[in-house]
Structure 1
Amino acid sequence: MNTLVSVREYARLTTEPCEASLDRAQVSVSAFDHLCRLNESFSRAGARLLQVDGRRWLRLDNYVGVLQTPCGTTLEVLPKHQDHGDSLTSCRALLRRMIQSMLDLPTRDAGEAQLERFDAPLTEWVMGRFLTELDRILKRGIRFDYQRVEEERPFLRGQLNVFAQLRQPPGRAHHFQVRHDVFVPDRPENRLLKLALESIRLATQHPDNWRLAQEISFRLAEVSASTRIQDDFRAWGTDSLMVHYRAIKPWCELILNRSLPLALLGTHSGLSLLFPMERLFEQHVTRWLRRQLPSDVRLRAPASSLSLCTHDGKPIFQLKPDLLVEAGAHRWILDTKWKRLNSADRDSKYGLSQSDFYQLHAYGMKYLQGRGNMALVYPRTTLFAEPLVPFHFDENLMLSVLPFDLDDDQLLGSDLISLPRHCKPTQGSKEPMAAFGAV
């Protein structure tokens, strides 16, 4: 029996009856055991999926996405944006927008109305987007390519393979060894699309996705599925004739488990996709900032040109700030953190980490030479709705703690660090840039 369980990050799961909510849910014993086994494999790889709290409860960590268990349970883990007031629809819409940012897809493919209409778990939405793009490619026409074929024929076709013909035994001299080119759709891109399509046909439980996958499968019957995924992705064409394939590549990478190391295809038929939430938040802020900056301002995400020190004449302990903005001789450093702060809790330092401040100080000394503005960017919540009073390492180096509003896509308080932005000058004005996102 297929069961959908929808929760948020850090939710608690149990095998006993409980009042269902986004922060607490009941799962079957087999699903509980499968999650525990999966967590063991994550732990061996240096990650942690959940915490086991006794024998009856487990607590999820900060990974979001979908896990499908062999018993038919689909566990949907959504971002925990607010402590209170989050709804299933808003959490799904937020996660989908952030995945769009991670894949760097055009905004037209991620309209709010479309997200609201497709009210389905994350994997079904991902599969639906892939199928829609693939259907669009098929309507326009898939790319064919010439392939050299060497074979034996009872008649001459193409070019005679003289050396192979001379090696024919006397009793087969009436057969021709020929080589010729055939125009077929067996290209690396099409093989990858066929493999992703076959994965969807086995995994989808949405009737519309299943129907479209079956229909497309007949139209791709001539194409064989890829058996060398990495090689075929490296051979993916980028010329002008492959422009209409560009939109589907990120979806194909996501389904075939190349976009993130924690995107998993289980040994059973279920498709599971997991995303580290801090990485999604970083990519979302990066893409937003890239759209806001003027064309002559450079954004490096992440920057990795400097190290903390040298050892035996070589750099060691590389410094990698999430975002480095460069406008002429001016530089700004921004680091993103997926963590909820409390601007009223001064005694607990608002929930800030001392190690993060040490890290930002090192960034400022190396990348800014000890002079300039930096920012730590956290998600905006009801408890952290405005920037904190800036922190000063000294009179020349300042750190601001800024909230990023995920509902309105706006960085609040960026005027504190004077970030450049696009500015439409009024008539007679020559000012090329200004601060943006002020409170």
Structure 2
Amino acid sequence: MYTRHICVSANEIIADSAEKNSELAMMLSEFAEVCEADGRRAVSVSEKGGKKYISAGSYCGFICLADGTLAEILPKLGNSAENARKALCEEFCDRCGYEFRPMSFDPHMNFLEYFVSVFAGETMKIIKSGVLSAYASREENLSSVQGTILFSENIRRNLVHRERVFVRHEVFTPDRAENRIIKAAAAKLIKLTANPNSSHLLKESLSYLEDARMPHDINAEFSKCINTRNTKKYNTVLDICRMLFDKKEGTAFSGKYVLCAQLYKMEATEAAADKAQTTAPQKKRAKAVRKRK
């Protein structure tokens, strides 16, 4: 959970190397090096008058650091932080396929909390409608015969425990790739949020997904996900999980002192400002025109 919130606009200074900010400047400097090596200048370091300055680039989003600092970077849209945060949240919604709802949008909720709230809310929708399960093969010692007895292993394990039998059998379980990925994301985000409602929903989600294992190789889990009519309700949540874990998505950033970073390439242009002020009917008309073309 973050203990300090810093909010800046794109291309503005986040911190300097003054004594009171020395630890923050050190962590952001390391993050800047990682970004530069990765070819994504989300954060950059400059020097003037013997002092280092760490500035945001044109990427917007949030960076959670190990010292409890949350750095929120908003697109530069005039002097309105409300419109800037709204544009950033809309960008996120466009990327994950979630319908942005202007009427329920809270401009005072920072982007990290909005990100977590969408994930937590959509995850609970899945749980309430029923998480998907699948048959899986399992080998274990039981008190009764179920499935096929594995004789050699049974002799090895149960020579002096005749009341037990080692078998291989099929079980219908929620321990499938989609649920394992969601569990990993919920476990990650619950450590970051300071919002009581989101925290409650994530705890509830983790309790419902107790039978799903925590994945060891998250990328391998994504390759096991199947896209069918039954899994359609997972689409938005899995897209958010890809943003968190899949480097191919290009929105997740890492660093030695970074707990979680989610940043989107957003140029500070009038086009971004227009997007923030576009109404829902205008969006629908524009979408219809594109389809006709």
Q: Could you say whether these structures have the same fold, taking a TM-score greater than 0.5 normalized by the shorter chain as the test?
A: yes
**TM-aligned CA distance change 1:180 to 1:264, over 3 Å:** same
2:6 corresponding residue in structure 1: 5
The answer to which of 135-144 and 41-50 deviates more is 41-50
| TM-score, length of structure 1 as denominator length | 0.57
SS of aligned partner of 1:248: helix
Which of these residues, 93, 96, 99, is aligned with residue 100 of structure 1?
93
Q: Which has more helix, going by share of residues?
A: 2
2:170 corresponding residue in structure 1: 181
Unaligned 5+ runs, structure 2:
none
Q: Is 1:72 matched up with 2:73?
A: no
Unaligned 5+ runs, structure 1:
18-25, 278-337, 341-377, 382-403, 415-419, 424-431, 434-439
**TM-aligned CA distance change 1:408 to 1:167, over 3 Å:** closer
SS of aligned partner of 1:47: coil
Once the two structures are superposed, the pairs formed by residues 275-354 of structure 1 within 5 Å of their partners are 275-277=264-266, 338=267, 340=269
For the aligned residue pairs, the C-alpha RMSD in angstroms reads: 3.3
CA offsets, 1:257-294, max 9 Å, x none?
A: 446335125555732212222xxxxxxxxxxxxxxxxx
Once the two structures are superposed, the pairs formed by residues 357-372 of structure 1 within 5 Å of their partners are none
SS of aligned partner of 1:379: helix
Displacement after TM superposition at 1:119 (Å): 2.9
> In 2, Cα distance between the equivalents of 1:139 and 1:93?
29
| TM-score, length of structure 2 as denominator length | 0.83
The answer to which of 49-58 and 184-193 deviates more is 49-58
The 8 Å contact of residues 10 and 60 in structure 1, kept in 2 or not, is answered as yes
SS of aligned partner of 1:253: helix
2:33 corresponding residue in structure 1: 40
CA offsets, 1:370-422, max 9 Å, x none?
A: xxxxxxxx7277xxxxxxxxxxxxxxxxxxxxxx65522779xx9xxxxx937
Q: Is 1:144 matched up with 2:144?
A: no
CA offsets, 1:41-93, max 9 Å, x none?
A: 22222332224132143332211111122222211111113xxx431111000
Higher CA-based Rg? 1
> In 2, Cα distance between the equivalents of 1:65 and 1:46?
17
The 8 Å contact of residues 257 and 264 in structure 1, kept in 2 or not, is answered as no
The answer to which of 256-265 and 48-57 deviates more is 256-265
Q: Residue type matched to 1:100 in 2?
A: C
Q: Is 1:263 matched up with 2:131?
A: no
Asked which structure has the greater RCO (Cα within 8 Å, sep 6+), the reply is 2
SS of aligned partner of 2:71: strand
Residue identity over aligned pairs, in percent, reads 19
SS of aligned partner of 1:240: coil
Q: Is 1:408 matched up with 2:278?
A: yes
* Aligned residue pair count: 284
Once the two structures are superposed, the pairs formed by residues 83-232 of structure 1 within 5 Å of their partners are 85-103=78-96, 105-106=97-98, 109-115=99-105, 117=106, 119-161=108-150, 176-232=165-221
